[in-house]
Structure 1
Amino acid sequence: MFDNIKGVIFDMDGTLIDSLWVWRKIDEDFILKEGINLSPEELMGQIAHLSFNETALYFKREFSLKETVEEIMLHWNTEAKRIYVEEVLLKDDVLNLLIALKEKGIKMAIATSASNDLLHETITSKEISHFFDVVVTTDMVGTS
């Protein structure tokens, strides 16, 4: 089945792990905590095209938050790490696929828009880090 494959590159979110819901939850919890009167749908329409830093800056300016942009991003990152480690699960059959690829000697990599810290904490907590020969994050290349 894997005879002509020399390597496989995986995305993390939505491919290896069931995590596509996480950032929406973080945003929804944040607007509730801050008392921001905006529906999640309206918020997504405003921030979907923004980078992580731009989103924090948008929140700071648009909602006159007392926290700095750095504090907002730290809060989001801390919450994301907690959720990824404690609540996010591997997608169905991912572990079996990784084992099969490893047994065939196929090199594996992850390319993700997640931060280095989030990636490493996630794959370590899910006990899959040893499968990957290379990981590349936006922290390494500067853009997603």
Structure 2
Amino acid sequence: MKAAVFDIDGTLIDSIDFWRNLGKNYLISQGISPRDDLYQAMETLTVAEGISYMKKEYKIGKTSLQIKEELDELLFSYYKNDAKLKPYVIEVIKTLKSKNIRLAIASVIDEELVFSILDRYGIYDYFEFVQTSENTNLSKDNGEFFKLLPKRLNIKPDQIFLFEDSLHCMEAAKMAGLNVVAIEDNYAKKDLEKIIEFADIYLKDFKKLIKFIK
């Protein structure tokens, strides 16, 4: 392993409940009753795509910019103040860095949100770059998203280990030739059997990883 690339939501932090309810809570605040399939429909979309989806499907009488500004207030407040890293994440990051393993982030969320939580915990500068769906214009379940990582790191795909909780993203990463380390998350338990079978390494938490890399 020459590089370790980490997803944020569901991997480094427990945020799935927040995201699961974000669209629903926003629609309710606008006096709109959301359908039961809202989260599933928006799960792999970028923020911009999610806004377009809600605006079209629920006929929201606001501009996309207005909706984004209102959602941004909720998002920044959460990542800046409330989001918490999973146990042992900081120790894993610092240990990998001490071993000269290159570190990066691959996430659906905006880079500013990534910065707000990692900087709060004092580990933002450990990462070389933050690759997101927003700054690449690529959905994270698209193999092209992950093909950018070897180019940016200037190393072979099989020297990169991706830490991820979403099966769809794991599949896209494997298509790009990356190694996949699955991190257990409550939301992904519906795909647990497939994830265990598909991943190169499966971890219930980061504690076991510390023993492996030390």
Q: If the TM-score is normalised by the length of the shorter chain, which range does it land in?
A: 0.7 to 0.9
Cα distance change on mapping 1:142 and 1:54 into 2, 3 Å: closer
Establish whether residue 8 from structure 1 lines up as the match of residue 9 from structure 2: no
Residue 139 of structure 1 corresponds to: 134
User: Of residues 79, 86, 89 in structure 1, which corresponds to 2:84?
Assistant: 89
Residue 200 of structure 2 corresponds to: none
Cα distance change on mapping 1:47 and 1:139 into 2, 3 Å: closer
Residue 26 of structure 1 corresponds to: 22
Partner secondary structure for residue 57 of structure 1? helix
Aligned-partner residue type, residue 18 of structure 1: D
Cα distance change on mapping 1:19 and 1:48 into 2, 3 Å: closer
Aligned-partner residue type, residue 14 of structure 1: G
Structure 1 residue 139: Cα displacement: 2.7
Stretches of structure 1 lacking an aligned partner (at least 5 in a row): none
Establish whether residue 80 from structure 1 lines up as the match of residue 80 from structure 2: no
Q: Residues of 2 paired with 1:83 and 1:112: CA distance?
A: 16
Structure 1 residue 11: Cα displacement: 1.0
Aligned-partner residue type, residue 139 of structure 1: E
Structure 1 residue 89: Cα displacement: 0.4
Moved over 6 A (4+): none
User: Of residues 16, 20, 31 in structure 2, which corresponds to 1:35?
Assistant: 31
Aligned-partner residue type, residue 25 of structure 1: N
Structure 1 residue 79: Cα displacement: 0.9
| Root-mean-square deviation (Å) | 2.1
TM-score of the superposed pair, with normalisation by structure 1: 0.82
Structure 1 residue 137: Cα displacement: 1.7
CA contact (8 A) 1:114 1:137 kept: yes
Cα distance change on mapping 1:28 and 1:86 into 2, 3 Å: same
Partner secondary structure for residue 37 of structure 2? helix
Q: Residues of 2 paired with 1:51 and 1:139: CA distance?
A: 7
CA contact (8 A) 1:19 1:84 kept: no
> Which deviates more, 47-56 or 132-141?
47-56
Aligned-partner residue type, residue 100 of structure 1: T
CA contact (8 A) 1:23 1:80 kept: no
Partner secondary structure for residue 9 of structure 1? strand
CA contact (8 A) 1:60 1:69 kept: yes
Q: Which has the higher contact order (CA 8 A, sep 6+)?
A: 1
CA contact (8 A) 2:47 2:109 kept: no
Quick one: percent identity of the two aligned structures?
Answer: 28
TM-score of the superposed pair, with normalisation by structure 2: 0.58
